[in-house]
Structure 1
Amino acid sequence: MAIIVDIDVMLARRKMSVADFADAIGITPANVAVLKNGRAKAVRFTTLDAICRVLDCQPGDVLRWTPDDDST
């Protein structure tokens, strides 16, 4: 997948646990794991808004694009 989710990096910088983060943004810790591991197929804007609000960051701080190896 070309979209990389850096939530784990932001959580480490904020010294925040997955459980506290999940509670703060209103999703389950299992769904946070799905986001962190790159298995999510989509993210709602309301969830992205909550993530950015709780982590005090911009969407580009938690999501980044990298080209696939075969996208030439």
Structure 2
Amino acid sequence: MPINVNLDVMMAKRHIGAGELAEKIGITPANLSILKNNKAKAVRFTTLEALCRALDCQPGDILEYQPDAADGTAR
């Protein structure tokens, strides 16, 4: 998938664990893990907003677009 979630990078920069972040933004640790491990098919804007607020960052700090090699575009 060409959208990568760099949540683990931001969590490391902010020195916050998954359990603490999940509690701060009001989602289960399991759902946070799905996001963190790039397994999510979608992200609600309310969740993205809560992540940005808790991590003091912008959406672009968490989400990154990298085209697949299969679509004919270079990285």
Give your verdict on TM over 0.5: yes
Normalised by the length of structure 1, the TM-score is 0.97
- Please provide the CA RMSD for this pair: 0.5
Gaps of 5+ in 2: none
Normalised by the length of structure 2, the TM-score is 0.94
Offset from partner CA, 1:27-66 (integer Å, 9 cap, x none): 0111111001111010000000000000000000000000
Stretches of 4+ moved more than 2 A in 1?
none
- CA displacement at 1:69 relative to structure 2: 1.2
Larger RCO: 1 or 2 (CA < 8 Å, sep 6+): 1
Gaps of 5+ in 1: none
- Rg: which structure is higher? 2
